[in-house]
Amino acid sequence: MHFSTFDRYVTQESLIHRLDPRVKVVVTLLFIISNVLLPDGAWLAFLLAWGLMVGVNWLARLPPTYTLKRSFIAIPFALAAVTVVFTLPGQPLFTLSLGSWEAVATDAGLVRFVSIVVRSWLSVQMAILLVATTQFPDLMHALRHLRFPYLLVAVISFTYRYLFVLVDEAMRLMRAREARSARLAGKRGGGSIFWQAQIAGNMAGQLFLRSYERSERVYNAMLARGYQGHFQTLNPHQMQPGDWVAGTVALTVLLLLQVVGRMPQP
């Protein structure tokens, strides 16, 4: 199985790795909520939030650019909010003319747009840190301890566990197609694009059928081994004094960020 395809956990011995997963999940959620609650244009608070994220990255002994490089995936999605530049009332900055239609960009709209991008960027970085420092089984058990809906946690657990199986199954189908497609020198194997589309559709159908049949076999095997609706773990997940201290410090820092974000801007 190709664990590196989806698993982003980084094996390391650090303070952040040793923290109880419940603390990391709660702090991550509170960090994201804190970013959402910060006013538009609270640049100092955003800078301090980024500094907090960098500090956690350092405590986790991850490469300095580990979260930075992976967080840019959120930028294209945040750019969808560019329309607020032209819809929010404020002082006009410039005008875009498209035939008879004109869009006026305002200062308030630009501030809100940049704030949305920064919020998304910071939140994604903290989520990446959570995944990089917490093994997936521990993460799922933390969600159970925090009383997340059991059905949601079970669906996420099974989806993650068997994504690797689906990837291997899809790769076997692709290898079989390549083995049965004539390949000439300098040319791609197979027939026309319509033929390739038909083959791709047949492969998708085969993958669905095989996945359905395997899910039935797996479920019956789990029932035969005493599955009662939840997974067991060797990790007791007991909160230690250091976990409480780390959670209290993180909560205090997030409250200070809210205070800084609401201070009068110079």
Per-residue H/E/C for 24-64: HHHHHHHHHHHHHHCCCCCHHHHHHHHHHHHHHHHHCCCCC
Q: What's the pLDDT at 48?
A: 92
pLDDT in tens, 220-261: 887 887 777 666 666 667 788 888 998 999 999 999 999 988
Q: What is the pLDDT of residue 191?
A: 59
- Whether the per-residue pLDDT at 184 is higher than 70: the answer is no
pLDDT of 176 > 80? The answer is no
- Tens of pLDDT along 8-34? 778 788 888 888 889 999 999 999 999
Average pLDDT, the chain: 81
Q: How many residues does the chain have?
A: 266
Give the tens place of pLDDT for each residue, 190-220: 556 777 777 777 778 877 887 778 778 887 8
Mean pLDDT of 43-66: 90
Q: What is the pLDDT of residue 265?
A: 65
- Whether 169 shows a pLDDT value over 50: the answer reads yes
Its pTM stands at 0.77
Residue that the structure tokens 């538009």 belong to:
40
User: Does position 51 have pLDDT exceeding 50, yes or no?
Assistant: yes
Which two structure tokens, joined as six digits, stand for 71?
């967080």
Give me the phi and psi of 192, to 5 degrees please: -70, 175
* Packed helices 21-37 and 241-261: angle between N→C axes, nearest 10 degrees: 0
pLDDT tens readout for residues 104-144: 888 888 888 899 989 989 999 999 999 889 888 888 888 88
